Amino acid sequence: MAMLQIELPDGSVKEVESGATPYDIASGIGENLARQAVAAQFNGQLIDVSQPLESAGKLKLITQNSPEALEIIRHSSAHLMAQAVKDLYGDDIQVTIGPAIKDGFYYDFYSATKKFVPEDFAVIEKRMAELAKEDLRIVREEISRTDAIKMFREMGEEYKVELIENLDEEKVSIYRQGNFVDLCRGPHIPRTGMLKVFKLTSLAGAYWRGDEKNAMLQRIYATAFQNKKDLKAHLNRLEEARKRDHRKLGRELDLFSFNEDAGSGLVIWHPKGAMLRTVIEDFERKEHLKRGYDIVMGPQILKTELWQISGHYEHYRENMYFTEIDEQSYGIKPMNCLAHMLIYKSKPRSYRNLPLRYFELGTVHRHEKSGVLHGLLRVRAFTQDDAHILCRPDQIDAEVKGVMQFIQDVAGIFGFEYRMELSTRPEKSIGSDADWEQATSALRSALEDSGHPFEINAGDGAFYGPKIDVKLKDALDREWQCATIQCDFTLPDRFDLNYIGADGEKHRPVMLHRVILGSIERFIGILIEHYAGSFPLWLSPVQAIVLNVTDNQAEYAQQVYNQLRAAGVRVELDLRNEKLGFKIREAQMAKIPYMLVIGDREMEEQTVAPRYRDGKNLAAVTAVDFAGFVAEETAKYH
């Protein structure tokens, strides 16, 4: 038997027979290590602890408490949940896929008769616990594609059959645990007894393979952790997220609504929501003007030929809407870049004119599938704070750094931390290798010079260029994709954009596509959840509400309201014949920053008694002084 040299993380080397497993090596070190081992990393690849080693290499054992173990535990928990569901609800259930995801896992099921409800969760969890207690061995097998198709077909698992039929492999791997078998690449933990901390969390619908033409599946979301403390903390975060859900708060605060009579994914802004949006858009215009951007506006529809030239028709048309006017096809814009290029091309440009920075709060329409629409976070019509910077190649570095500074400034104003990713060329793209390399190098250089850490997101660039993506982190430590900077050599070439250089010759400009907040709708949804609806004073659609104690002060209250409104304060007036405590509670529920209480004393002294929404009472001030305070606080963010 051949002997293998296996190097461990501490640099020591174990000599083992060919065919020995990571479990064998763990057992040789200590029984406790063997019991704790959930998987292994061999020459950088994750494998089962039962997988035979056939060559020399570096081995790292992954134990139950290792950071790398969590995803494996969750993936194995998905199989455990599927086994429990099959045990409980029989052959009418078909299993499809069940991956580990951020914060947990899910499994998609098909059933013609069983409709899952949250009340089923306790029953499924109980069966999962029973199967875990049985400490079933989880065994990997490799079988031929033909045998796998035959086996799953005989089991009535037609979705598994379809998955295998679409694999271009002679052999596939399956995992068995007790009476349950699943198609899977692995790796998995060695025994179900290692799964002790799990919780089912929610239900959703999902089309098979994400295609709305296919069957609707039932998705059960769940999570698993290495200990109960982490699970409890996660469930607390989920509960807090439910309280902050922008759809719930949007209704309660009367900000926006959706109406199926109008159409799915189309936002209807109510007065308070429209005011919030106006405040953000006004902020955006001022910030862009300060940084040397010109405000422009393009049409909502452009001839389809333009979308063909740009490549959108070939690469993006399934997300576009089209219409016809006078036998001419038009595309409703999903992006704003085409009109901006036409503005650039409207007259000759010199190298001395560059850079040109065109900014538009441009409304776009995208055909999102019904199943992915989600409040303000995923809609079919939205407005982007879109800008396109046309510059010389030697100006790319400074312009990218300027946008990065803009992003940093705005993130600080709204109270977000963030991280950055460099997304590189996708498989489906346009443009030459040389242009892509130059664009990617330019973005990477700017990131490295900034000193801000970043990760590489391979293959996730736009179809016309690489990009820097910015992931905001909110109050619940969740990440959101908002800002992006895309470097594009290709579209200026396709639209024959040029400028006259210092040498008197024509040269091609580079175009930077960028957004700071991204979709205004989506950003507002994120803000609602980040602040839990309690917006800071400068952002609040209603900054103050005037409350009278009795009808005696109604006339003075109206006078104060008129003064504040004339001074630019966003103020409401509540003169209802209700108890003051009731009116204060309603104002607090509406999350209005300040309640200005007026009783006989305030009326006599010509003041108001401010009360903050957290219940703190402030010293009485005149209406003029309060308006000055609001103006001073608001000015900090403009």
pLDDT digits (tens, 9 = 90+) for 447-505: 998 888 899 988 888 888 899 999 998 888 888 889 999 998 889 999 999 999 999 99
Please report whether residue 587 resides in a domain. Answer: yes
Contact 136, 83 (CB under 8 A): no
Which CATH number covers residue 415? 3.30.930.10
- Give percent of the chain with pLDDT exceeding 90: 76
Q: Say which residues have a Cβ less than 8 Å from residue 534's Cβ, sequence separation at least 6.
A: 591, 613
* Structural domain total, the chain: 4
39: domain range? Answer: 3-63
For residue 373, the model assigns a pLDDT of 85
Do 386 and 505 lie in one domain? The reply is: yes
- Catalytic residue IDs: 337, 366, 384, 386, 388, 467, 513
Same domain, 384 and 521: yes
Average pLDDT over residues 197-226: 92
Which of 482, 507, 531 finishes a domain? 531
Residues 73 and 187 in one domain: yes
Residue 353 belongs to some domain of the structure: yes
Average pLDDT over residues 571-579: 95
pLDDT by residue (tens digit) across 348-377? 999 999 999 999 999 999 998 877 889 999
Q: Chain-wide mean pLDDT for the chain?
A: 93
Decide which of 244, 260, 279 is a domain's last residue: 244
Other CB atoms closer than 10 Å to residue 174's CB: what's the count? 20
Q: Quick check: is 600 in a domain?
A: yes
Residue 355: cis peptide before it, omega within 30 degrees of 0: yes
Report yes or no on 308 lying in a domain: no
Question: What sign does the dihedral 28-34-39-44 (CA atoms) show?
Answer: negative
Q: Is 11 left (phi over 0), alpha (psi -120 to 50) or beta?
A: left
Mean pLDDT of 135-159: 94
Looking at the structure, tell me whether residues 57 and 87 fall in a common domain: no
Higher pLDDT, 92 or 558: 558
pLDDT at 250: 96
Q: Give me the pLDDT at residue 474, please.
A: 86
Do residues 523 and 472 lie in contact, with contact meaning Cβ atoms separated by under 8 Å? no
Task: Indicate whether 54 and 74 sit together in one domain.
Answer: no
> Is residue 569 situated within a structural domain?
yes
What is the model's pLDDT at position 24? 87
Query: Can you give the pLDDT at residue 438?
Result: 86
pLDDT band at 638 (very low <50, low <70, confident <90, very high): low
Helix (H) or strand (E) segment spanning residue 423: strand 417-423
φ/ψ (deg, to 5) at 111: -150, 135
Q: Note whether residue 356 is domain-resident.
A: yes
Model confidence pLDDT, tens digit, residues 414-460: 989 899 999 999 888 888 888 888 889 889 998 998 888 899 988 88
Do 173 and 99 share a structural domain? Answer: yes
Question: Which of 471, 498, 531 is a domain's end point?
Answer: 531
Kindly report the CA angle at 239 between 236 and 242, in degrees rounded to 5? Answer: 155
For 179, residues 6+ apart whose C-beta sits below 8 A from its C-beta are: 83, 87
In this structure, the answer to whether residues 350 and 410 fall within a common structural domain is yes
Task: Please indicate, yes or no, whether residues 566 and 620 belong to a single structural domain of this protein.
Answer: yes
pLDDT band (50, 70, 90) for residue 135: very high
Specify if 572 maps to a domain: yes
Which run of H or E residues covers position 81? helix 69-89
Residues in the chain: 638
- Give me the CATH number covering residue 570: 3.40.50.800
Q: Are residues 524 and 412 in the same domain?
A: yes
Amino acid 288: pLDDT: 97
Tell me, what CATH number does 188's domain have? 3.30.980.10
